[in-house]
Chains A and B, each alone.
Chain A
């Protein structure tokens, strides 16, 4: 059997007396779109922070294609093919959309200790960056300073930047957060395009989007995983209904 793309083993994390991740074990197969849902404060973003390396893990192990990355800093995990987006948009506002993405390409293509030559005119950087922008549906806005993009466009830009790092595994932290209806349709459409091409861990509140996109769904409640199943299985799961879905009656 081949290694799972991502294997999380007995991850724990506590801030003082507050346990935010409690013995979470989860494995994501290559090519899978795995959604993690849970009520507010369940520790979803903390989990993404731990997987991506922004937060130091408490105990437990994180394996990427069988390699232990538990103690690597974030930038080294990125170089091993682990990319993420942020729930609260994190971009370079003074750079154009294209330059935001080109910088991610630059990180993967040779040394950046080059002091001569105009980086913004390098086709080797701009070409893949334009492609990633197009994949995220932002091709027309390439030259706009990222700080001037609309909220939804910034979410798309985050996606394009993550794609440009040539990831094996994409961690998407609420890509639909704060987007309007039309914008969210656009983002779902780009996720639909990415599905199958990349292994994706998706954290999302929008249940409609989750159930339409995910191959499997894990439910996180108070830092514990209470179920991992297909979308249909999760819908039928009594414990999940009680803990989370409740009166929403999905």
Chain B
């Protein structure tokens, strides 16, 4: 038995070292992108595209935390993008332009929305959970669209990007890029820790077999609710970033189509690996970009592609990468 106790950490650090390769490459690529962009001659375009990838990667990462590790299929996750974006937009329209105010407000608003809707949605399972999260996000969408003072259907143009402690730190695209990367990397590390922690283990256990969890003394509900709140806050942060990137806030951020795209990104990248969600977001947005250039009907190509992924590459892109390595 003692040799087992010793064998275990060795085994897990070995596995962990292998687990570091793909996220390491991913973040190295993000860090190198601005320099490559400068060399490419289309710096502005590349920078803004990769910033978008990272921001949606952040949103997809938040969804993977509950979808991949908790089997909670939230079909209303774009609501949090909207909350984050509108927190920035509405505060800015009242002259409050500092991110040190805007971001905390966005996080608190996201957390409250997640707490209330999660406390109700998590009492249901499966398809009902999907439907009820969708219903809540649609309610919020119609509420936002009715706010004539904040542009209603037309949305809201930001006077300028957020300040940080009174300084115009995000005004250049390059700086916004690094801020987005910092948010993504920090959140990724946080989520890695959450998933491996005691809390994460309860969440993962409840995904596999809730009855078993009850039988060892855990009630999954509070754990799932806290995970839902954390996930919502991360998506809210992504919303703050997206508002700053586009300098324009619109109800389109929070439509159910956007929620569906987030689920698509997570499945495309591969469930329950965290970096898979980011890779999925990158693949989705780059494909979208390419296909849009080819044809107006790009969704006609993207749709069947998702079907192929679900049918033939169950683990998504991460699944393909891992299969390649084991062979």
Contacts and interface: CB of A to CB of B under 8 A. Distances in A.
Contact of B201 (A73, A103, A123, A139): A103
Interface in A99-125: 99, 103-104, 106-108, 111-123
A143 B223 CA distance: 26
B217 A78 contact: yes
Contacts of B4: 98, 130, 139, 142-143
Contacts of B214: 54, 73-75, 78
Interface stretch (B122-130, B180-188, B191-199, B261-269): B191-199
Interface string A178-190: 0000000000000
Given A74-B214, A74-B215, A107-B218, A119 B5 contact: no
Interface string B203-215: 0110011011111
Nearest to A118: B196
Contacts of A106: 198, 201-202
B223 to A, nearest CB: 7
B212 A79 contact: no
Given A90-B211, A92-B205, A126-B8, A116 B216 contact: no
A56 interface: no
20 contacts: A73-B214, A74-B214, A75-B213, A75-B215, A103-B205, A106-B198, A112-B199, A112-B201, A112-B223, A113-B199, A116-B197, A117-B198, A118-B12, A118-B197, A120-B8, A131-B1, A134-B1, A142-B8, A143-B11, A161-B215
A239 B287 CA distance: 76
A119 B7 contact: no
A114 B12 contact: no
Contact of B5 (A52, A94, A111, A127): A127
Interface in B3-41: 4-5, 7-9, 11-12
Given A54-B211, A75-B217, A142-B8, 17 more contacts: A75-B213, A76-B217, A78-B217, A90-B211, A92-B208, A92-B212, A103-B218, A113-B198, A113-B223, A115-B194, A119-B197, A120-B8, A120-B196, A120-B201, A121-B9, A126-B8, A143-B11
A112 B198 contact: yes
Nearest to A90: B212
Interface residues of A, number: 48
B12 A104 contact: no
B199 A86 contact: no
Given A75-B214, A90-B215, A130-B4, A119 B209 contact: no
B299 interface: no
Contacts of A99: 201
Nearest to A93: B208
The 8 A-B pairs at the shortest CB distance, nearest first, are namely A78-B217, A107-B217, A104-B216, A114-B198, A92-B208, A119-B198, A74-B214, A112-B198
A188 to B, nearest CB: 23
B109 interface: no
Contacts of A12: none
A83 B204 CA distance: 21
Contacts of A91: 209, 212
B216 A113 contact: no
B215 A117 contact: no
A84 interface: yes
Given A113-B226, A126-B8, A83 B215 contact: yes
A46 to B, nearest CB: 16
A131 to B, nearest CB: 8
A103 B8 contact: no
A222 interface: no
Nearest to A98: B8
A131 B223 CA distance: 28
A108 B218 CA distance: 10
